[in-house]
A and B are shown apart, each in its own frame.
Chain A
């Protein structure tokens, strides 16, 4: 059996060109819609690198465990391919099919070589199949890891985008809050608010929670903390966007928000803020 394994590996390097060509053909048929996305030349070079690395690894190491150090360069090439494809918007199966089409190309090669020796053919097919399946799964894992990284990065971006501090008037800031107010969000909101109070020299800040879907005791606690921190810096906060169903729920929950100035609407909060700054809006002439 060892003999046959060595034979297969030898076969792979000897018939490299034939194998490569067949593999790429199969792979491109699978990706028929995406020829534009990956240059043929690039694919050819990548695939050649992969087979060479595979032959080298398979020659030195056993074919059972792809986590061994001998397989490092194979894993590296695969990881690069799947990470790139994940970023370019390939689907998971399109990505994994890269390895699986090699299997098909190899089987054809094996069949030509061992067609008259069914025992060896079966044995070799099984061995090659096992290792390529493992590599295929590895591609898949790397693919999802790259996707998770993308999601994480987007979450972080959203966190920053979603907490703008708006200057409404001299000394009056507004923070429209949209989405779930968890501890991480609250921290960002508080930092942005406090920095905004300092840089714009404001003494009134309106936190609008119209876009916060659920106000439970944790959100209430976060609001109270934010208001207290702003107060320490000499600014008064107004919470606006308290919808009727939220008001009823907060009361039944037993949360006391009486020390916080609240208004139903942003317009109401702005009016209160102007009052606090001894400002008024007047109509001049007829509208």
Chain B
């Protein structure tokens, strides 16, 4: 079954800490031997989701894990905040939709950049997004 080989947890509450999260993901992605394109995709997806967390969720934690499932190796990044939650997930996952003043590509774009993408949100409780990219 799945096993976590190495992991790190970061608190991300401001734009400076988004940069630190990106750097950590880069470190893990290099360690796993991802090529430059895949590294960039992972880092960019991390940047989007971490920024959403800071902008809309009041900050939260980012967990970066090196995982093994049978013979597959991958990188999982989980974003968890205790913000207001997302009212309409279906809308939020559509391109061009934003409640702020961004471009509205953050969530759907991040989903396209990875292999697995899960999002779970409860009003008043918080939001949790988890993504995986396999080597």
The contact size tier of chain B is 20 to 34
- Please state if B41 and A252 are interface contacts (CB–CB under 8 Å): yes
Contacts of B5 in A (CB 8 A): none
Interface flag for B17 (CB, 8 Å): no
A-B contact pairs, 14 of them (CB 8 A): A182-B15, A214-B22, A215-B44, A216-B48, A218-B47, A244-B37, A248-B41, A249-B37, A249-B113, A252-B112, A252-B113, A253-B109, A253-B110, A255-B103
Q: Is A60 an interface residue (CB 8 A)?
A: no
| Nearest chain A residue, comparing its CB with the CB of B40 | A245
When distances are taken between beta carbons in the complex, the residues of chain B under 8 Å from A214 are 22, 40, 43-44, 47
A-B pair number, CB within 8 angstroms: 61
A214-B44, A214-B47 known; A245 vs B36 contact (CB < 8 Å): yes
- A254 contacts B47, C-beta separation under 8 Å: no
User: For residues 202 through 249 of chain A, which have their beta carbon under 8 Å from a beta carbon of chain B?
Assistant: 213-218, 220-221, 244-246, 248-249
Pick the residue among B22, B43, B106 that contacts A217 (CB under 8 A).
B106
Q: Is the interface of A mostly helix, strand, loop or mixed?
A: helix
Which residues of chain B are within 8 angstroms of A213 by Cβ–Cβ distance?
22
With A182-B15, A214-B43, A214-B44 known, 8 other A-B pairs at CB within 8 A are: A216-B51, A217-B103, A217-B105, A244-B37, A246-B40, A252-B113, A253-B44, A253-B48
A245 touches B37 (CB 8 A): yes
Q: Kindly provide the distance from the CB of B121 to the nearest chain A CB, expressed in whole angstroms.
A: 20
The 9 tightest CB contacts between A and B, nearest first, are A253-B109, A245-B40, A216-B47, A254-B105, A245-B37, A252-B112, A217-B103, A245-B36, A217-B105
Kindly list chain A residues whose C-beta atoms are within 8 Å of the C-beta of B105: 217, 253-255
Interface residues of B in 36-64 (CB under 8 A from A): 36-37, 39-41, 43-44, 47-48, 51
B11 sits at the interface (CB 8 A): no
Which B residues lie within 8 Å of A254 (CB)? 95, 105, 108-109, 112
| Cβ-defined contact, A253 with B112, below 8 A | yes
* Shortest Cβ distance from A218 into B: residue: B51
Q: Which of A180, A215, A218, A249 contacts B102 (CB 8 A)?
A: A218
Interface string of A146-182 (1 = CB under 8 A from B): 0000000000000000000000000000000000101
B32 adjacent to chain A (CB < 8 Å) = no
What's the Cα separation between A254 and B112 when bound, in Å?
Answer: 9
**Complex CA distance for A180 and B18, rounded to whole angstroms:** 11
Closest to B114 in A: A252
Check A221 against B39 for contact (C-beta < 8 Å).
no
Q: How far is the CA of A248 from the CA of B51 in the complex (A)?
A: 21
Question: What is the chain B residue whose CB lies nearest that of A254?
Answer: B105
Residues of A within 8 A of B37 (CB): 244-245, 248-249
Point out the residues of chain B lying under 8 angstroms from A253, CB to CB: 44, 48, 105, 109-110, 112-113
Q: How far is the CA of A253 from the CA of B19 in the complex (A)?
A: 19
Which of the residues B22, B102, B109 comes within 8 Å of A252, measured between beta carbons? B109
A110 to B101, CA, bound (A): 67
**Interface flags, B90-109, vs A, CB<8A=1, else 0:** 00000100000011011011
How far apart are the CA atoms of A248 and B22 in the complex, in Å? Answer: 18
Q: Is the CB–CB distance between A220 and B113 below 8 Å?
A: no
Nearest-CB residue, chain A, relative to B39 = A245
* A249 in contact with B41 (CB, 8 Å): yes
Q: How far in angstroms is the closest Cβ of chain A from B30? A: 13
Contacts of A255 in B (CB 8 A): 103, 105, 109
The complex places the Cα of A218 from the Cα of B19 at a distance, in Å, of: 13
Write out the residue numbers on chain A whose beta carbons fall within 8 Å of the beta carbon of B51.
Answer: 216, 218
Q: How far is the CB of B102 from chain A (nearest CB, A)?
A: 6
A239 to B108 alpha-carbon distance, docked (Å): 25
Closest to A252 in B: B112
List chain A residues, Cβ under 8 A from B22.
213-214
Chain B positions within 8 Å of A218 at CB level: 47, 51, 102
